[in-house]
Chain A
Amino acid sequence: MIQLSENGYYGSFGGAYIPEMLYPNVKELQENYLSMIYADDFQREFYYLLKDYVGRPTPLYLAENLSAKHNATIYLKREDLCHTGAHKINNTIGQILLAKKLNKKRIIAETGAGQHGVATATVCARMGLECIIYMGAVDIKRQAPNVARMKMLGATVISATSGSQTLKDATNEAIRDWINNPVDTHYIIGSVVGPHPYPDLVARFQSVISEEMKSQLLEATGRENPDLIIACVGGGSNAAGAYYHYLNDLDVRLIAVEAAGEGVYSGKSAATSILGTEGIIHGSRTLLMQTTDGQIVEPHSISAGLDYPGIGPLHAHLITTGRAEAVSVTDENALKAAFELSRIEGIIPALETAHAIHALEDISFKSSDVIVINLSGRGDKDLNTYMEYLDKY
């Protein structure tokens, strides 16, 4: 049974390793999140917004050309069709409603690719709350369209200039903002990372993905369970959502696709499950890339959303216990897969998602298998990167 312990651990991973300054806010969340999010009025508003504002349920699309190419039955769970273009908004809708219940007036968030930043800025605009987004200076450059969207939505985007100036550092800056503003501010973490209860909270909001998959697959194939679910993992929120209702269905293979960057052992990689060791990052005990001295190592991936040196504690548990299989895909193969999906299915995926598409080449499966790939986001934000490779692929 995969289950969260009372203290917020999946096996030996998780917990809340936080300085005292964060303790009251985290404890308030720990004590109240389950009763608040499962209250009838909360659930009603959450599902109403997911339906009419986000556009859920998202289609489960039978990708016939991709299926023919890889000789299996492949479905794409179309999270790219969510409002704002990725699964991230499932979580921000939930957390903004939670922030309202907690009487918070000011919202902060970190963002890597900018999808979580846009999704946060969107719900803040909708709910009339002040919104501050921390984003690494490097990511601000490579994800310019999303920076513009956040600003148009009324958010303040603050450049994180410490460390590697990517997602890790944006997260550090957001946590520091929360320390400096403990009373009026809620921190909307974008992935299944951070101190307990965030990994569980975010997984529950994202679990709508696998909830829909069950009924959609039943209708399409006559059974609720696919043989494989493939999802990319940076922190791991889309994967957590796609796996959630299948975690204890052992007949479903869970494939976690990490970013190998320029090659797992090239020194420029973000393949945490291979390169990582057990430690603490952003308040959570998990696998992370670090030196023997415990200094956190700067990762590398062409995709800003996978450019994170840790993984959520749920994924660390799933991978180390063998429940999930980790696969890593290089920058180049992700680009190849992005062009392939665009050309044969007419869908331009996000660079993060492209890693999951390429995993079809890296794992074995039977022709009778039903595979669901979580198409976590659309590729508009990555067009600048894609254009550089237009002649090559």
Chain B
Amino acid sequence: MLNRLTKLFENKRENLLTVYFTAGYPKLDDTETIICSLAESGANIIEIGIPYSDPLADGPVIQESGMAAIDGGMTLQVLFNQLTDIRTKTQVPLILMGYFNQLLQYGVDKFLDDCVKTGIDGLIIPDLPLMEYEQFYKDKLTQRNISISFLITPQTEESRIHKVDALSTGFIYVVSDSSITGMKTGISNHQISYFERIKSLHLSTPQLIGFGISDRESYLTASKYANGAIIGSAFIKHLKDKNEVDNATADFINLILKP
């Protein structure tokens, strides 16, 4: 059975633009506006970050946006409430990104059920071990038709890449370099050779490149070696201090998509 995410991959496999934003940032009630504006401006997949106090894989930009969102009152329950009617507004694939502790405290089953109710298509949980997923959660996600995407990095061994390929049901999140999010910009030659190495493995799951993708140039370069790219910190930075998030979001996507 297809969900909006897997259906997208059936129809489009090039230059897929995924944009990350932190739920509740810059303001608590911006969630729906940002999602709709991203979708209308041409983002293909939207990754909604659940703000977390201790996001180990993220850099200062995303951590600060998360702290601001938490201070502003964002919780997982508030987020699901905000998403109740989102499927009457847009059919863009939506994925949630959060840390495993947040799911544990909310209750994994309740979390997955609320994902189904609100129309979430996929998950990224960077600190959920592959083995634990396979043993305890794979069936739960499959039953609910929710995709999951695991990460690979330049240091991930080939045998493990194949394991990630076998277990990922959305896309493979190709971390572009050894770094936390938002630290580096631009793409270097050693990254290109890593991208080529991954491409040559002809993995069965679509691949999106993220970390360090910040502008049109890096988006287009990354898209040459994968099915598309993920932009996060650059968008969060762009939203900082913006009152009109609707226009600000459209402006940002236009800069990426229009020559």
- Contact stretch, chosen from B41-49, B55-63, B226-234: B55-63
Mask, A167-190, CB within 8 Å of B = 1, is 010001001100111110000000
Q: Which residues of A contact B189 (CB under 8 A)?
A: none
A162–B60 CB distance below 8 A: yes
Is B151's CB within 8 Å of the partner chain A?
A: yes
Mask, B171-183, CB within 8 Å of A = 1, is 0000100111001
A179–B180 CB distance below 8 A: yes
Report the bound CA distance from A162 to B57 in whole Å.
14
Q: Which residues of A contact B67 (CB under 8 A)?
A: 163
Given A176-B59, A296-B54, residue A24 in contact with residue B100 (CB < 8 A) = no
Mask, A276-315, CB within 8 Å of B = 1, is 0111111100000010111110000000000000000000
Report the bound CA distance from A173 to B117 in whole Å.
37
Q: Which residues of A contact B57 (CB under 8 A)?
A: 19, 21, 179
Mask, B151-181, CB within 8 Å of A = 1, is 1110111001000000000000001001110
Q: Which residues of A contact B129 (CB under 8 A)?
A: 15-18
Is B187's CB within 8 Å of the partner chain A?
A: no
Is B204's CB within 8 Å of the partner chain A?
A: no
B53–A179 CB distance below 8 A: no
A179–B127 CB distance below 8 A: no
Report the bound CA distance from A127 to B131 in whole Å.
37
Chain A, 113-167, CB within 8 A of any chain B CB:
162-163
B156–A294 CB distance below 8 A: no
Report the bound CA distance from A192 to B150 in whole Å.
28
Given A180-B180, A279-B101, A293-B102, residue A24 in contact with residue B157 (CB < 8 A) = yes
Q: Which residues of B contact A283 (CB under 8 A)?
A: 56, 127
B104–A176 CB distance below 8 A: no
Interface size on B (CB < 8 Å)?
40
CB-CB nearest in chain A for B164: A20
CB-CB nearest in chain A for B211: A21
Given A17-B127, A180-B179, residue A293 in contact with residue B152 (CB < 8 A) = no
Given A20-B156, A295-B52, A296-B53, residue A280 in contact with residue B101 (CB < 8 A) = yes
Q: Which residues of A contact B155 (CB under 8 A)?
A: 21, 23-24, 182-183
Is B128's CB within 8 Å of the partner chain A?
A: yes
Given A21-B178, A176-B180, A179-B179, residue A294 in contact with residue B106 (CB < 8 A) = yes
Interchain CB contact (< 8 A) of B104 among A7, A20, A162, A294:
A294
Given A17-B129, A182-B178, A294-B101, residue A24 in contact with residue B156 (CB < 8 A) = yes
A-B residue pair count with CB separations less than 8 angstroms: 106
Report the bound CA distance from A168 to B53 in whole Å.
11
Mask, B88-106, CB within 8 Å of A = 1, is 0000000000011111111
Q: Which residues of B contact A23 (CB under 8 A)?
A: 153, 155-156, 160
Q: Which residues of B contact A183 (CB under 8 A)?
A: 155, 178
Interchain CB contact (< 8 A) of A290 among B101, B157, B178, B180:
B101
Mask, B50-81, CB within 8 Å of A = 1, is 00111011011001000100100001110000
Report the bound CA distance from A366 to B153 in whole Å.
58
Given A18-B127, A23-B156, residue A292 in contact with residue B105 (CB < 8 A) = yes
Q: Which residues of A contact B153 (CB under 8 A)?
A: 20-21, 23-24, 182
B54–A281 CB distance below 8 A: yes
Interchain CB contact (< 8 A) of A293 among B56, B106, B179:
B106
Mask, A24-50, CB within 8 Å of B = 1, is 100000000000000000000000000
B102–A19 CB distance below 8 A: no
A19–B151 CB distance below 8 A: yes
Report the bound CA distance from A143 to B183 in whole Å.
30
B178–A180 CB distance below 8 A: yes
A280–B104 CB distance below 8 A: yes
A181–B178 CB distance below 8 A: yes
Interchain CB contact (< 8 A) of A162 among B63, B152, B160:
B63
A20–B175 CB distance below 8 A: yes
**26 CB < 8 A contacts A-B:** A7-B131, A15-B129, A17-B100, A17-B101, A17-B128, A18-B129, A19-B56, A20-B126, A21-B151, A21-B178, A21-B180, A23-B160, A24-B153, A24-B155, A162-B63, A163-B54, A179-B56, A179-B179, A180-B180, A279-B105, A280-B100, A290-B101, A293-B75, A293-B76, A293-B106, A296-B54
A positions within 8 Å CB-CB of B: 7, 15-21, 23-24, 162-163, 168, 172, 175-176, 179-183, 277-283, 290, 292-296
B positions within 8 Å CB-CB of A: 52-54, 56-57, 59-60, 63, 67, 70, 75-77, 99-106, 126-129, 131-132, 150-153, 155-157, 160, 175, 178-180, 183
The 4 closest A-B pairs by CB, nearest first: A294-B105, A20-B151, A19-B57, A280-B101
